[in-house]
Amino acid sequence: MNRSNLQIPLSKRVRFSVSNVGLAFLFAAILTASGLRGDDTLFRRKTAREECDSGKAGNYLKDPDPEIRRYALFRLTEKDPKKEINALSDAVKDPSPLVRLTAVLSLGRLAGKDMTADWLLQFLNDDPDPRVRDAANRFSWPFHRKNVRLSEDPSWDYTVITEKSIPIPEDNWKLIADPANKGHRNNYFGENFPDSAWEKSQCGFWKGELAKYTGYAWYRIRFTMPPKTECNAVEVRFQGVDESAWVWLNGVFLGAHDIGLEGWNKPFSLDCRKEIRFGEENLLVVRVLNREQGGGIWKPVFIDILK
């Protein structure tokens, strides 16, 4: 499908990804725009870099040049960030977002292993710079699950047949923007969370005030399943979410579809055989991230009964 036919922008900018930030990024940035600042700046940075490389990085953590501070922090924490947790604690409050971003990358190596590092990453979730917030959020994201579909189960050696597909109502969703990316901390996915003030919505790209919005938003919808039928698995199937999605069913995290900009038109399914409630009301919650115009659950969603 050609996205231009859907009357949304053709281009999609390459998004910031923590996994793509490596040594090249950190080394190259140290000399960014140095040629515009004169030979003195270039000489100072070259000298500082040599000093940092020789084991004296700690001497440059308070340097007035943020490029030097960032490189010093990188070199100091490169081998053992836990040993330099005090320096990282100071760096998360540095006025330069580039220094704070370097701190995030070092703290990310300790995520889930060190309580202080986890607390600092939570602190950076509220950083004013979107690059820092995004990186910190990815490292401190508390929901993880390996969702294995029946067709991907190595112990299942049979053809998987879709016995029945139950459509989720397209026009009964509740929607709210989450520009601060705090919905998961505010329990937006919870079964008892009050969503009466949320906007009523339906499947389709974002419209109205959200038409040009980029960032996070949340969807909630309640639907009733028919009585239980004989099956080997149950999956929730999304035909299109622009661009990334994190999914909960009845308060339980199922998994994510987060492959970047190219994920906007890629169908995906998540196993939910343990979470689905036959013959009862169910709550489906989806956290969506849109990085360019468009955005949203723009195609129908189904519950597939599999044999």
Classify 266 as helix, strand or coil. Answer: coil
Report pLDDT digits (tens) over 212-244: 999 999 999 999 999 999 999 999 999 999 999
Report pLDDT digits (tens) over 7-24: 544 444 334 344 444 444
Is the model's pTM score more than 0.85?
no
Task: Give the range of the structural domain holding residue 211, as residue numbers without chain letter.
Answer: 150-306
Q: Are residues 95 and 236 in the same domain?
A: no
Q: Classify residue 277: in a domain, yes or no.
A: yes
How many domains would you assign to the chain? 2
Q: Could you say which DSSP state residue 291 is in?
A: S
Classify 165 as helix, strand or coil. Answer: strand
Classify 159 as helix, strand or coil. Answer: coil
Q: Classify residue 175: in a domain, yes or no.
A: yes
Residue 146's Cβ-side half-sphere holds a number of Cα atoms within 13 Å equal to: 2
Q: Are residues 269 and 196 in the same domain?
A: yes
Please report, for the domain that includes residue 234, its CATH number. Answer: 2.60.120.260
Report pLDDT digits (tens) over 75-86: 999 999 999 999
Please report, for the domain that includes residue 108, its CATH number. Answer: 1.25.10.10
Q: 44: Cβ–Cβ under 8 A, 6 or more apart, which residues? A: 65, 68
* Segments in the chain forming alpha helices (H): 23-29, 39-51, 66-77, 85-91, 97-108, 115-124, 130-140
Q: In the chain, what's the furthest Cα-to-Cα distance?
A: 76
Asked, as a colleague might, if the bond just before 243 is cis with ω within 30 of 0, I would say: yes
Q: Are residues 213 and 287 in the same domain?
A: yes
* Greater model confidence, 3 or 265: 265
Q: Are residues 167 and 275 in the same domain?
A: yes
